[in-house]
Amino acid sequence: MPAITPGTQARPCPADEQLLLAHEHESREMERYRGLALSFLPTHPHVSRLMAALGIECEQRIAALEALAEQLKLSQFLLTRPSRHPALPGASQLHLFITDDTMACQALSHALAVAHYSRRFSELMARYCQLPALDALLAQFIDHKRTACQLLEEAQAGAYGASARA
């Protein structure tokens, strides 16, 4: 695969590939947030609820992408829900329960870093989007992801505060 250098134009991504990329990204995000919701449940139920809510937002974004794909007659390019992720990278990792504030701080720090990555990924997708309807969805996704980052930052600050008091 040729490297893209500063003088090289990126090749536009066909609509079906853009939809597939966005769909797969949101699917991985949903699975990650669901795992985090489970991990935080025993000791930090409020953070578990936040992670579950963020997972539900991902599920709503997936549904919006699937509806758009159906509208554009591109749904054949998206994987069906039951077999969406038979072997996600990292899916073999066990979900560990968060047992103390130190683990909570580390997990929230990682969740926040990945949330920022997800926002940047969506921003890049929007920048190179060739499909106006997908571009409009991505703009909404970016706003949701900014809010998710803010909520995770607040949860992280609360966890660090609890850790410092302990």
DSSP 55-87: HHHHHHHHHHHHHHHHHTT-GGGSPPSTTS-TT
- State how far the Cα of 125 lies from the Cα of 148, in Å rounded to an integer: 18
Q: How confident is the model at residue 154 (pLDDT cuts 50, 70, 90)?
A: very high
CA distances in angstroms from 96 to 42, 88, 89, 92, 107, listed in the order given: 11, 17, 17, 12, 10
Whether 101 and 156 have beta carbons less than 8 Å apart is answered as no
Q: Per CATH, is 15-76+97-165 categorized as 2.60.40?
A: no
Q: Higher-confidence residue: 155 or 6?
A: 155
Lowest mean pLDDT among 4-18, 36-50, 129-143: 4-18
**pLDDT > 90: percent of the chain:** 66
State the helix-helix crossing angle for 132-165 and 45-71, rounded to 10 degrees.
170
pLDDT at position 81 is: 47
pLDDT at position 83 is: 41
Q: Is the pLDDT of residue 4 over 50?
A: no
pLDDT at position 28 is: 96
Q: How many CA atoms lie within 13 A of 72 on its CB side?
A: 20
Q: Is the pLDDT of residue 91 over 50?
A: no
pLDDT at position 12 is: 53
128-145: b (≥16 Cβ within 10 Å) or e = ebebeebeebbeebbebb
pLDDT in tens, 123-152: 999 999 988 999 999 999 999 999 999 999
